[in-house]
Amino acid sequence: MATSQQPINGNGTAVRPTHEEEEEEEENIFLFVPNLIGYGRVVLALTSLYYMPLHPRTCTALYSISCLLDALDGYAARAYEQSTKFGAVLDMVTDRCTTSCLLVFLAQAFPRWSIIFQGLISLDLASHYMHMYATLSMGGSAKSHKDVSASRSWILRQYYSNKWVLFTFCALNEVFFIALYLLSFSSPYLSPTLLADPANPSSLAPGSPAAPKPSVLFASPFSAGAMEAARANKMDSTVPWICMFVSAPIMLAKQIINVVQMKKAASWLAEGDRAARKAAGLPRKTSKKIQ
């Protein structure tokens, strides 16, 4: 029976393989430090969604921590030399999903403006998907979606190349929507309760209770009426109003960047289509019809 043998030297002693010859252990990308932080972001975001309908303070704290960890995972990726494509996709998907979920809540909290929030969700998803797809298909799989040349788009170059600019825009964009979320609980001017007493106008004044406790009228704390009661003047609205007005210009600028990003991605994909069609001999030239 044939058996594997280690190489031996002149005196018959077995020679151990060198370090280079030893089989290297395969890295577990899923357990990289920045990816572990990403999983933590997902857990925090999901927990914040659980508290979102009735507990604005808890939801805001969890949601904000999840957003702040977005900067930490990038720092960890650079510090530990663990930047990966999986991590980049995980980060982007988490950002898009958490923001979309918050905008869905705002759409039902402010039904009159729901079409605006639906449009913002669509713009955010479409612009980032088209940008990443265009980068991978036109720039190659090794090219990062954050590596944008100035010749292609000066605005996107400034947005993605400076980490502080990117962080400021993303952070204040989230601050705007979080502030609007808190105002849905604290400002009767934006969100008057369905249980307000029409015969008592003072019930809509800031700081005054506009409805009885949910347990008085509703058996289920998650009923629509209980939600309205819980949202009535639950906190002071001064800080949310300030945060909303301060972050509003950056939020609007972020939407403009999303439009530019989508337009540039579409143009880049069209360039590739034209080149592919030309290489395939399209459109085919046909002989002119005999008059």
Token output for 132: 């990443």
Catalytic residue among 95, 124, 147, 273: 95
Closest among 84, 137, 138, 131 to 260, alpha carbons compared? 131
Token output for 179: 């502030």
- Can you list the pairs that 105-108 forms with residues at least 24 positions away whose Cβ atoms lie under 8 Å? 105/52, 105/53, 105/181, 106/177, 106/180, 106/181, 106/184
Sign of CA dihedral 69, 247, 55, 46: negative
User: CA 119 from chain center: how many Å?
Assistant: 16
**CB contact at 8 A, 48 and 63:** yes
Q: Which residues contact 5 (CB under 8 A, 6 or more apart)?
A: none
Query: Distances from the Cα of 143 to the Cαs of 95, 127, 131, 147, 271, in angstroms?
Result: 20, 18, 12, 7, 18
Q: Is 91 a catalytic residue?
A: no
Closest among 211, 214, 212 to 224, alpha carbons compared? 214
Residues with catalytic function: 95
